Chains A and B, each alone.
Chain A
Amino acid sequence: MNRYLIRYKRYGLLRYLSNHENMRMIERLLRRTAVSFKMTEGFHERMRMSFGQALPTGVIDRAGTFVISTEENLDEEFLRIANILAPKSFEMSAIKKVSEDFNIGTAIEGYFFSLIFRERPDLDENWKLKENGKLWIARNFVQFNSPSPRPKDHGQFLTLRDEIVWR
């Protein structure tokens, strides 16, 4: 059995997908590739997948990731085909083979988030603030499994998960 780590970006209107909706969208997209992935046991078979930390609805994700297993050998060509079969505003950017015992939950240290403001915000010192043209961008590291920022929670108009920090 081969295990693969796939990284993806989800932006535009797709940021309004809930975590569950996002997972189902990805599963159906993978099913369209006709690659036979490992399924769960039980009556309603689902694809066996593990994801990085769940995001609140409304957050743009540039650091999405999941792990899947298959007997087949997958490469960049698989990614290219899968991206053709993907909905608009969803894009898989990298695929990497990982070991049988790879655990996504322990592999990720945390994430960098960015909040984008139209006016200079008043934030605590954990946020690094930068002026960029007419916008203000605040960036912060969030430990894996700590609460993610939510849309508008600091008055920002966009919330992004930017980057994975691996252990």
Chain B
Amino acid sequence: MNVLKDLMDILDDVEKPSRYIGNEYNSIKKSASVRMCMIFPDLYDVGMSHFGVKILYDIINSSDFASCERSYLPWIDMQKAMIEKNISLYSYETYTPINEFDVVGFTLQYELSYPNVLRSLKLGKIPLKREERNNTDPIIIAGGPCTFNPAPMENFIDAFLIGDGEEAAIEMMRAVKRGKTRKERLALLAQINGVYVPEYNSKVEKRIIPEMKKAWAPVDQIIPYTEIVHDRGVIEIMRGCTNGCRFCQAGMIYRPIRERSYGEVFEIASGILRKTGYEELSLLSLSSADHSQINETVSLLKTLKETSLSIPSTRANAFTVELAQAINTVRKSGITIAPEAGTQRLRDVINKGITDDDIFSALKLAKDNGWKRIKLYFMIGLPTETDEDVISIGKMLDRIKKMSFSEVSATIGVFVPKPHTPFEFDEQILPDEAFRRFKLISWAKRFAKLNFTDPEKAVIEGILSRGGKEIGRIIEEAERKDLIFADWDELFNPQGWMEIFDEKGIDVESLMGQKSFKDAFPWDFVNSGISKEYLWSEHQKALRETLTPDCRNGCTGCGVCPKFGVDNIVQKRVTDEQVSHSI
């Protein structure tokens, strides 16, 4: 079946129809014996910006037996139109209803998208719960960072892929090909490293690739017609991060680091430009300024004509400014740094690894080099935080404004402790307390633009990320009550969520409260390679305000490398001469 003809009848009536038309340049139509549809459970504009989907799309489509198509959750107006015309959620390559695929995969990038997953299944006429599915339904799989606590979604997902997907994705497609029935397929999936099948497995270890092969870097990247959030070519220059910031889940679950060499990055970049026509390239990693060859990489990429470069995720030190300086030769509008906390004491608690000196010398350098606007990121509610720590955020902004930047703006979020981090034992502050702490900074509004993120959203995120199986009922009810697209401010309805927590008897305070080493967590059966003992010792060090160094400078004993028999892959610095030689 193919929904294209019906689709043509409704596209004139919806907002931004180009986000639903599919068939973009570089998308792949392929017939294969195993067909998968990968869904990013959010609007196309967001989902198309996501890099993980691009990697797996390419890898599966390069295989000789499996194909991968894509889908996204349509906006409200389109959902209504589809329901009225009885159009199922469809793939963007062949306009096939998603329930005709062998496998439907979701990427779980943020917890607030969980109800979107259920809405996608509903629009695709696939039973929500795994026990309701039979041999004619697709196998529903999920990957992405949220799967490190699969419990909240495990009523709905047949198999989770936890960790790196490059190799496991193909193994999963093969298992589906071999299995004749749903039961056989699930049993085979359960034998794959990194795969958790709730029906068969009681524990799981994350999957890891020892190095990033060049062939895995997506080059023929799909060009959207719609203007999407990140509309540019993307090269992953490094996976993992060695800073060991204690609040950061990505820093823990993506260990160890695996860097690509500058030469390889350049080859991939040239390929992307040739195949896409993109005018901008983005270097992706958790902390690009830490890449051992970032200088070499940037100077080589700058030789690419008529192409601008962007590097998200850098550190709050002078080097970040030097890097920004190297990239932006003309425009000096804004620079972003993330001190995270207002005092050195608290930055030591979270192991941020930067000092006031680092921050202010970076700012001075930015000022001297002509930057006029500064944007900063902070969190409140970090473990051990006192009122003085909070007030210090305001003081810091005051000091920065006095350096005579024309605009200082700060985003202040509420900290959500995440599974598999040293702060998984810590409490999350509730909205009343968050509002009280926000007030301690609001005097800074006189000289800085303050943007406080919603504390109620943080609570919902906290519950969805730290909850167990019982949270499945909440997610189901949230979808039923239309609490989808919760990350979109215009549709965010915190009251609706709070009512569900009440109705379903969720004890928010205890779920958000302090835990100890002895407490069992719903994600204890997921082995990220970092033991709970290590996380606990890091938690204790945090309380003592003791730093743990970057593990590039010596192993800190988290356990990931020996556990999986891998190592940090760090590139060697090279001279300018060698770089220019490689052009």
Interface residues of chain A, those whose CB is within 8 Å of chain B, are 13-14, 16-18, 20-21, 24-25, 27-32, 34, 36, 39, 42-46, 57-58, 86-89, 151-152
Residue of A nearest to B25 (CB): A87
Chain A's closest residue to B20 (CB) is A16
Q: How many angstroms from the CA of A36 to the CA of B21 in the assembled complex? A: 30
Interface residues of B, Cβ cutoff 8 Å to A: 8, 11-12, 16-18, 20-25, 223, 225-227, 273-279, 305-306, 308, 330-331
B227 near A20 with CB under 8 A, answer: yes
A88 touching B331, Cβ below 8 Å:
no
Collect the chain B residues with CB atoms within 8 Å of residue A43's CB.
308, 330-331
Instruction: List, in ascending order, chain B residues with CB within 8 A of A39's CB.
Output: 306
Q: Which of B18, B223, B305 has the most CB of A within 10 A?
A: B18
Nearest CB on A from B271, distance (A): 12
B279 and A31 form a contact (CB under 8 A): yes
What would 24 A/B residue contacts be, using CB atoms closer than 8 Å? A13-B11, A13-B23, A14-B21, A14-B225, A18-B16, A20-B227, A21-B18, A28-B223, A28-B278, A31-B277, A31-B278, A31-B306, A32-B275, A32-B276, A34-B274, A42-B330, A44-B308, A45-B308, A46-B279, A58-B12, A87-B25, A87-B223, A87-B225, A151-B12
Given known A87-B24, A151-B12, A152-B12, contact A21–B275 (CB-CB < 8 A): no
B10 to chain A, nearest CB (A): 11
Contacts of A89 on B, CB cut-off 8 Å?
Answer: 23
Do A58 and B17 touch (CB < 8 A)?
A: yes
Residues of B close to A45: CB separation below 8 A: 279, 306, 308
Residues of A within 8 A of B276 (CB): 28, 32
Contact partner of B17 (CB less than 8 A), chosen from A16, A42, A46, is: A16
* Known A-B contacts A27-B277, A29-B277, A43-B330; A16 and B21 likewise in contact (beta carbons under 8 Å): yes
What is the CB-to-nearest-CB distance from B459 to chain A, in angstroms, rounded to a whole number?
38
Q: Which of chain A's residues has its CB closest to B11's CB?
A: A16
Give complex CA distance A151, B305 in Å: 40
From B8, which residue of chain A is reached at the shortest CB distance?
A: A13
Interchain nearest-CB distance for A21 vs B (Å): 5
Q: Is B277's CB under 8 angstroms from A88's CB?
A: no
Closest residue of chain A to B224 (Cβ to Cβ) is A21
- Select from chain B the residue with minimum beta-carbon distance to A44: B308
| Complex CA distance for A122 and B8, rounded to whole angstroms | 24
A156 CB, nearest partner CB in chain B, Å: 10
> In chain A, what residue has the closest Cβ to B280?
A44
Instruction: From the candidates A24, A28, A36, A44, name the one contacting B227 in the complex (CB within 8 A).
Output: A24
Q: In the complex, are the beta carbons of B274 and A32 less than 8 A apart?
A: yes
Q: How far is the CA of A57 from the CA of B225 in the complex (A)?
A: 13
Chain A residues with Cβ below 8 Å from B12 are 58, 151-152
Closest to A151 in B: B12
8 smallest beta-carbon distances between A and B, as pairs:
A28-B277, A31-B277, A16-B17, A43-B331, A13-B21, A32-B277, A87-B25, A43-B330
A96 and B227 alpha carbons, distance in the complex (Å): 31
Contacts of B24 in A (CB 8 A): 87
Nearest residue, chain A, Cβ from B24: A87
Closest CB in chain B relative to A34 CB, distance in Å: 7
CA gap between A92 and B21 in the complex, in Å = 21
Nearest chain A CB to B82 CB, angstrom units: 15
CA distance A78 to B13 in the complex (A): 38
Contact partner of B277 (CB less than 8 A), chosen from A17, A18, A30, is A30
Which residues of chain A come closer than 8 Å to B226, judged between CB atoms?
A: 21
Which residue of the partner chain, among A17, A32, A58, A151, contacts B225 with CB atoms under 8 Å? A17
A28 to B331, CA, bound (A): 23
Contact (Cβ within 8 A) B308 A57:
no
Q: Indicate if the CB atoms of A21 and B17 lie closer than 8 Å.
A: no
Residues of B near A31 (CB, < 8 A) are 273, 277-279, 306
Closest to B226 in A: A21
Q: How far is the CA of A167 from the CA of B126 in the complex (A)?
A: 58
Contact of A21 among B225, B273, B279 (CB under 8 A): B225
Nearest-neighbour CB distance to chain A for B125, whole angstroms, equals 23
CA distance A30 to B477 in the complex (A): 49
Q: Is the CB of B23 within 8 A of A57?
A: no
Residues of B with C-beta under 8 A to A151: 12
Q: Which residue of chain B lies nearest to A152 when distances are taken between CB atoms in the complex?
A: B12
Instruction: List A contacts of B275 (CB < 8 A).
Output: 32
CA gap between A151 and B11 in the complex, in Å: 11
Q: Report B15 CB to chain A, min CB distance, Å.
A: 10
Q: In the assembled complex, how far is the CB of residue B200 from the closest CB belonging to chain A, in whole angstroms?
A: 42
**Chain A residue at minimum C-beta to C-beta distance from B330:** A43
Measured CA separation A45–B306 after assembly (Å) = 7
Query: Which A residues lie within 8 Å of B305 (CB)?
Result: 36
* Distance in angstroms between the alpha carbons of A28 and B24 in the assembled complex: 12
Nearest B-chain residue to A90, judged by Cβ = B25
- Measured CB to CB, the nearest residue on chain A to B332 is A43
Residues of A within 8 A of B227 (CB): 20-21, 24
Closest to B22 in A: A13
Complex Cα gap A42–B18 (Å):
29
Separation in Å of the A93 CB from the closest CB of chain B?
A: 19
Nearest chain B CB to A40 CB, angstrom units: 11
Least CB distance from B43 to A in Å reads 16
Tell me the complex Cα distance, A89–B305, Å.
Answer: 29
Contacts of A27 in B (CB 8 A): 277, 279
Shortest distance from the beta carbon of B219 to any chain A beta carbon, whole Å? 13
In the assembled complex, the Cα of A46 lies from the Cα of B279 at a distance in Å of: 8
- Which residues on the A side are within 8 Å of B274 (C-beta)? 32, 34
Cα–Cα, bound, A28→B277 (Å): 4
Closest CB in chain A relative to B3 CB, distance in Å: 12
Closest CB in chain B relative to A51 CB, distance in Å: 16
Query: Measured between alpha carbons, how far is A73 from B90 in the docked complex, in Å?
Result: 44
On chain A, the residues within 8 Å of B331 by CB distance are 43
B18 A17 Cβ-Cβ under 8 A: yes
Output the least CB separation between A151 and chain B (Å): 5
Q: Which residue of B lies closest to A28 (CB)?
A: B277
A58 to B278, CA, bound (A): 25
Give the residue name and chain of the B residue nearest to A26 (CB): B277
> Within the assembled complex, what's the spacing in Å between the Cα atoms of A57 and B25?
19
